[in-house]
Amino acid sequence: MKLHNFNSGPSILPQPVLTQAAEAIINYNNTGLSLLEIGHRTNWFQEILQEAKDGVKKLMDLDDQYEVLFLHGGATTQFMQVPMNLLDTNATAAYCDNGIWGNKAWKEAKHFGNVQVVADSSDRHYQYINKEFTVPADAAYLHITSNNTVEGTQWHSYPTTHIPLIADMSSDIFSRPTDFKKCDLIYAGAQKNMGAAGVNLVVVKKSILGKIARSIPTIMNYQKHIEAGSLMNTPPVFAVYVSMLTLRWVIEQGGLTEMGKRNLAKSTLLYNTIDALPIFNAPVAKEYRSEMNAVFFLNDAALEEPFLALCKQEGMIGVKGYRTVGGVRVSMYNALPIESVQIFCDLMHSFAQKHG
């Protein structure tokens, strides 16, 4: 039986990436060594890291004002590393609380300075993005989560602000054309749309750094990582390699323009199916719906367990909703073929005919 991987992260990877990564574990580039045992300061890994950095800048269309870092710790570490580097003790940062991860981010930032939540969507269970807000003129930065994996909402255009814009793009990075230059710092865990778990991407405009009085531990200091070229300590070599291969694949497939067309087609197909079948309900308003993570429910809660059981039986992997939300979640990252979405939609039609 063919499996269809709708996992929210770690998530589906392109088959060519999996093949090359598997080969590299045994014999990297005909060196006779496994990728897992080459030195991180060798020319072999330096070439991998440089191609990965170049791929990020190419896809984001960024110049040398920005630096690309591949760091340990995942996106959650950035909840503290961002304010540690950018928020003075007596200063204030502005945060948009549009979901679980944005909520966690501002609570971590409170350890380093003052936080003002300028937009909060919790009043409607995070089923929309509150875009009606005012940012304090003296705020150090504005933080958003570009796509809310758990709740299924997405910023389809970024807010315009007079202060640095910080964006957690963990679940929709490289999924569509966008103006990355509007952001002064972008971070993303690789495991949703950019590679394997174990590495975190940080893209930072160098001019926003070095402006606070706080003493920053070396390993947490962006400037020190820039000086060390992402090699302050041993990087997650394999995870960086998989990210490099994934970035290479995106470029070869036609870049973000092609990714955007594919992802729009997949999400449109799924949302049209949900809306056409009264047995299902997607509570997120259309203007906020995520192209990456569709979250929906069965109107009869008693049918949820049978539906999820059928999905499992038919090889639909990872469609159970997040533990605090419930329902169904279908993640449609770059590597997911539209054929998998079509088969899932066919299953929905079949289930609705039987139970609707």
Distance of alpha carbon 46 from alpha carbon 338, whole angstroms:
35
H/E element holding 159? Answer: none
**What are the backbone dihedrals phi and psi of residue 233, each rounded to the nearest 5 degrees, phi first?**
-135, 175
The candidate with the shortest Cα–Cα distance to 45, out of 26, 28, 27, 66, is 28
The candidate with the shortest Cα–Cα distance to 221, out of 244, 237, 202, 240, is 202
Tokens representing residue 179 in the block: 């103006």
- CB–CB of 219/233 below 8 Å? yes
Distance of alpha carbon 75 from alpha carbon 311, whole angstroms:
30
Active site residue 101: yes
Distance of alpha carbon 159 from alpha carbon 24, whole angstroms:
42
Active site residue 2: no
For 131-134, which contacts have Cβ atoms below 8 Å and span 24 or more sequence positions? Answer: 131/159, 133/96
Which residue is catalytic, options 53, 97, 101, 172?
A: 101
Which residue is catalytic, options 97, 106, 155, 168?
A: 168
Active site residue 168: yes
Which residue is catalytic, options 53, 106, 184, 192?
A: 192
The residues annotated as belonging to the active site are 101, 168, 192
